[in-house]
Amino acid sequence: MTTLSFLDADHLTGPSTARITQAKRAYTTRRVPLAAMTHLLTGPQPVPQAGDLMLARVNKLGKHASLESTVSRRSALFVGDEIVVACAARYAPDQFDAQLPASLAPCHLAAGGGVAGLVVARHAGVGAPTEIEPIGLLCDVSGVRANLARCAIAPTVLVPQRQPVTIVSLGTSMNAGKTTSAAYLIRGLTRSGLRVAAAKVTGTGSGNDPGLLRDAGATTVLDFVDAGWASTCGLSLGELESTARLLVAHLAQPQVDAIVLEVADGLYQRETAALLKSPLFQALVDGVIFSAGDAMGAAAGAQWLHSAGLAPLALAGTLTRSPLARTEAALATGLPVLGLDELSAPATARGLWAQAAQRRTAGVAA
């Protein structure tokens, strides 16, 4: 973890506890205690690192006119507000392509959950990002930077023989229906009498998706923020594997019968593709449901997954709104196509769980 050099220390100011208390703190920073944010590191020298906490001032409102708080409440933003956010990159084809800030120069609120990034491109249908001016990086009294990784859940041992049956929700892209499909599957598994835990393994920090999984009936819900990341964009394969294994290890409790995971973004996204092809990740997964917006996306995705060794159990997602698209997808893939009502039906959900359990017993790929 980054500590200060003597040059950095020349720009260490504080205390700032009262100032931080009055600032609007983002969801991504929820695990970091105030004791880790008593001083500010300012000046031209500091280079933000992924997960560093930044105090910034809102200069101009744009796409994100509110900030998701530590308790997942949307707090309206005003020009001049001071906010506490986490430095990270972002990958969102429907919104922003943002890089990790390279300095404390003006940058952007790249995600409403609290990500400070430098937006380099955006979807044509999305407005300009909210502009923010960094005031400084937050540190403790010893000059150690406040970083999400320092407050991550503790490492724990995963015993594969005791891991509950695990199903992962994947999709073609953002907004294909991955999270909603995962939530309705959790609902169906819970209604069938199974105890379910869940996690969002990759993506950009926000409480919306974990909240939906919790509302659907999952007894324990974690996300990559709990593992120390504001965003998984730009992580190495080793970091992605460690994150997935850490989250599953914490969810694999004796009272849990099933784990439902979501991997964000589409199969062509760099981090997603690398993780799904990883033997370590595949060893964690017993079954896959795949969401798509149309039949061709479903067929191409199913073929990609087969070639990667992750044959899907079923198709789902926004394509199920169209009877014609459902028929096309079923004919093209030979897979069942399940709408939300079907995923939440106890018999259907229990059947998917049983198929995944059978694959584990048989020792075949998910």
Where are the domains positioned within the chain? Answer: 6-148, 160-362
Weakly modelled stretches of the chain, pLDDT under 50: 1-7, 10
Q: Name residue 201's amino acid.
A: V
Identify the burial level of 33 via C-beta atoms within 10 angstroms of its C-beta, where 0-12 means exposed, 13-18 middle and 19 or more buried: exposed
- DSSP annotation of 174 reads T
pLDDT value of residue 67: 97
pLDDT value of residue 168: 98
pLDDT value of residue 133: 97
pLDDT value of residue 216: 98
pLDDT value of residue 219: 97
User: What distance in Å separates the CA atoms of residue 32 and residue 140, rounded to the nearest whole number?
Assistant: 11
* Architecture of the domain made up of 160-362: 3-Layer(aba) Sandwich (3.40)
User: What distance in Å separates the CA atoms of residue 210 and residue 73, rounded to the nearest whole number?
Assistant: 13
pLDDT value of residue 363: 65
pLDDT value of residue 4: 43
Structure tokens at 273: 């593709």
Structure tokens at 219: 């007894």
CB 199 within 8 A of CB 220: no
Strands 96-99 and 258-262, sheet pairing:
unpaired
- String of b and e for 254-292 (b: at least 16 CB within 10 Å)? eebbbbbbbbbbbbebebbeebbebeebbebbbbbbbbb
